[in-house]
């Protein structure tokens, strides 16, 4: 790959559409522009696994707008990828057709395994965590990816059908939530993690704990928690990337969110107004993972899936996986 190539990726997620335009140099990406638009593609999806026509239309319009922005940077490629909701939808063909007609771009629906691997690759980009074992989690709207790596290589990864939007549709949540609803949602999470996550990861993690494994969190939940913790009015990558949040901080933030109304959460310094509803699911998932896997500290990464997608297979972490 030649250095200094400008590329763009548009990520069609369950909750929002995201654009990244970046300059690729080797296995590193320098972001030029990052934008996000919430279209709620997965709204009401988990009752019948059908994407709603209005959500499809809003998503196609958002992709078309981002494609126009991306093209203004004259990139060598514009790649549209779709994740959990598109992956599971009965009528995914309607979404793909609407996006291609609106933007002129085809859509690649990536597997859960690919999503997990790219999340790890992006979060560890630039040689971060090369010398230590790392567990990377990406909490999305419809799924959560967990990835375990060591010595700069991905060793094990898994995508789970658990995300911020999916969780809140599973749990009964009023406005404001009640204490019983918070406890009930946490009970569902603990049951899911005990049945699905712990059998795969607990034993693998046990061999690394003495080495002080790095627990790295990427995605919107991580950056929102970081912004609220620091009271940042805007997204500041330099202050968020590498920020450490201990489990007591996550627990306090999660409880704070669950005891407030949506209107009150929107007024919290650092809270993006359009994410004030789904943060209930994100903070709850992160807290449950940290408590049940006995992870004392989370490290925020501002890089993830989209950064790896720009590399076109050039991620060193994925080239030498353990047998």
pLDDT at position 318: 60
pLDDT at position 180: 94
pLDDT at position 139: 94
Query: Do residues 18 and 41 make contact, with C-beta atoms less than 8 angstroms apart?
Result: no
pLDDT < 70: residue spans in the chain: 1-3, 208-211, 312-323
Domains annotated on the chain, with CATH: 5-110 (3.30.420.40), 126-306 (3.30.420.150)
pLDDT at position 323: 34
pLDDT at position 132: 78
**pLDDT tens, 236-252?**
999 999 999 999 999 99
**pLDDT tens, 13-31?**
998 999 999 999 988 899 9
- Of 227, 248, 247, nearest to 237 by C-alpha is 227
Reported pTM: 0.89
């Amino acid at each position: 790959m030649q250095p200094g190539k400008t590329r763009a990726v548009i990520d069609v997620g369950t909750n929002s559409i995201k654009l990244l335009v970046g300059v690729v140099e080797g296995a590193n990406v320098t972001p030029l522009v990052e934008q996000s638009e919430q279209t709620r593609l997965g709204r009401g999806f988990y009752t019948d696994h059908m994407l709603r026509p209005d959500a499809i239309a809003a998503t196609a319009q958002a992709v078309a707008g981002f494609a126009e922005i991306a093209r203004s940077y004259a990139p060598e490629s514009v790649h549209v990828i779709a994740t959990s909701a598109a992956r599971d939808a009965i009528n995914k063909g309607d979404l793909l057709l609407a996006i291609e007609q609106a933007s002129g771009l085809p859509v690649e629906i990536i597997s859960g395994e690919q999503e997990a691997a790219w999340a790890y690759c992006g979060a560890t980009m630039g040689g971060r965590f090369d010398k230590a074992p790392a567990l990377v989690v990406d909490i999305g709207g419809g799924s959560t990816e967990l990835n375990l790596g060591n010595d700069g290589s991905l060793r094990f990864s898994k995508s789970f059908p658990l995300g911020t939007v999916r969780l809140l549709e599973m749990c009964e949540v009023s406005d404001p939530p009640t204490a019983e609803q918070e406890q009930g949602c946490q009970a569902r999470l603990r049951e899911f993690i005990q049945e699905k996550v712990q059998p795969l990861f607990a034993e693998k993690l046990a061999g690394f704990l003495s080495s002080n494994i790095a627990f790295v969190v990427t995605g919107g939940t991580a950056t929102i928690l970081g912004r609220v913790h620091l009271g940042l009015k805007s997204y500041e990558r330099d202050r968020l990337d590498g920020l450490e949040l201990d489990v007591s901080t996550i627990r306090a933030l999660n409880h704070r969110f669950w005891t407030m109304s949506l209107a009150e959460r929107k007024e919290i310094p650092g809270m993006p107004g359009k994410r004030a509803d789904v943060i209930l699911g994100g903070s709850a998932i992160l807290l449950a993972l940290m408590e049940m896997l006995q992870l004392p500290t989370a490290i925020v990464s501002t890089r993830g899936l989209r950064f790896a997608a720009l590399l076109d297979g050039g991620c060193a972490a994925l080239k030498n996986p353990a047998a």
